[in-house]
Structure 1
Amino acid sequence: MTYQFRKAIPSELPQIWAILQQAIARRKQDGSNQWQDGYPNPEVIQNDIDKNAGFVLIEGDTIIGYSALLINDEPAYKKIEGKWLTNDDFVVVHRIAISEHHLGKGLATKLVRFIEEFALSNNIFSIKADTNFDNFAMMKVLEKLGYTYCGEVYFRGSSRKAYEKVITKEEIR
């Protein structure tokens, strides 16, 4: 299959929100507290798109994944209980979700690889991400791709595992 990764456009919000609702339900089924408090919601996704931070993974004409990417823009990352690998420019990854109809194909890994290519295309060599302590699927993806656990950051009153990866052009090829 051929996949594309590009910025989301406003008319795609309904498809993106449907994928995120599926992911929210999966987190609940897994017994996770992540995304069980009304976040994310359509307004968050609209804000991502408005700020050119919303990105979609596409197979053919179908949106099958979503993530938000920010450059050097995560205030919570300034206060880490631990230590980041770098203090250089970085891409922040938030809200990774894959359609329930496309699970089990390694697409979260593929999506993160596209994010790494996005960072390199912007001459940024660090990617930072965080996830709930009970989001074992996301931790597995990050660890498999060589992300280093750096400590804890806090969002909306709860701690999250923080990861960073320093990437090189050779690694993506």
Structure 2
Amino acid sequence: MAELRRLRHAVAEEQDTIWTILQQAIQKRKEEGSEQWQDGYPNPEVIANDIEKNYAYVCVDEDDVILGYVALIFDIEPAYENIEGHWLTERPYAGIHRLAVNQEPYVKGIATWMMKAVEPICKELGYYSIKVDTNFDNIGMLRVFEKLDYVYCGEVYFRGAARKAFEKRLD
């Protein structure tokens, strides 16, 4: 039987748990030899801001255990305005940032599940495009983007570093 899970807004009381999950992701990126998230970002203040602005979502199981975290943002991402390449669309979009999966308990496929789960939320709010980016060496996220038919659009820059940028049309 498939495990029941859902995506819902995070609440302030979950900030410490979310930070623990992000710390696991930061450590995993370091162990994989990546520079991504090794510069003090993200941090607890970023999570608090995500929760305050209603960007913060958690994937929970049937016991409300948090399996993953993602920020789903419907505001313009300034870095996306200066892409070296071309987006598929020029319309309003949802941006996905700070996706991280709990390693304790680790449930295979949660990142993919969360990326799929945001799609109906976006459509319901009238956003038919999702834009994302990741480090060149984040093989796990690159595989998720490929699996879910995200299209490589070029490079964007965050804190001086180039990132691969992707978009998926939802219509």
Residue aligning to 1:47: 49
Q: Secondary structure at the match of 2:104?
A: helix
Residue aligning to 2:37: 35
Measured after TM superposition, the shift of residue 117 of structure 1 is: 1.6
- Between the aligned partners of 2:104 and 2:148, the Cα distance in structure 1 is 23
Please say if 1:101 is aligned against 2:104.
Answer: yes
- Between the aligned partners of 2:36 and 2:166, the Cα distance in structure 1 is 17
Question: How many pairs align?
Answer: 168
Measured after TM superposition, the shift of residue 104 of structure 1 is: 5.4
**C-alpha offsets along residues 139-169 of structure 1, whole Å, 9 cap, x if unaligned?**
000111000000000101111000000013x
- Between the aligned partners of 2:121 and 2:105, the Cα distance in structure 1 is 22
Question: How high is the TM-score relative to the length of structure 2?
Answer: 0.95
Measured after TM superposition, the shift of residue 73 of structure 1 is: 2.1
Measured after TM superposition, the shift of residue 123 of structure 1 is: 1.7
Change (3 A) 1:71 1:48: same
- The equivalent position to 2:9 in structure 1, one of 7, 10, 26, is 7
- Between the aligned partners of 1:11 and 1:103, the Cα distance in structure 2 is 21
- The equivalent position to 2:92 in structure 1, one of 79, 89, 94, is 89
Please say if 1:155 is aligned against 2:158.
Answer: yes
Q: Which ranges of structure 2 fall in alignment gaps of 5 or more residues? A: none
Q: Judge which range, 124-133 or 68-77, deviates more.
A: 68-77
Measured after TM superposition, the shift of residue 72 of structure 1 is: 3.4
Please say if 1:20 is aligned against 2:18.
Answer: no
- Kindly report structure 1 stretches of 4+ aligned residues shifted beyond 4 Å: none
Question: How many percent of aligned residue pairs carry the same amino acid?
Answer: 51
Please say if 1:112 is aligned against 2:126.
Answer: no
Residue aligning to 1:171: none
Q: Secondary structure at the match of 1:105?
A: coil
- Is 2:67–2:107's contact at 8 Å kept on the other side of the alignment? no
Instruction: State the one-letter code of the partner of 1:96.
Output: L
Q: CA RMSD in A?
A: 1.0
Question: How high is the TM-score relative to the length of structure 1?
Answer: 0.94
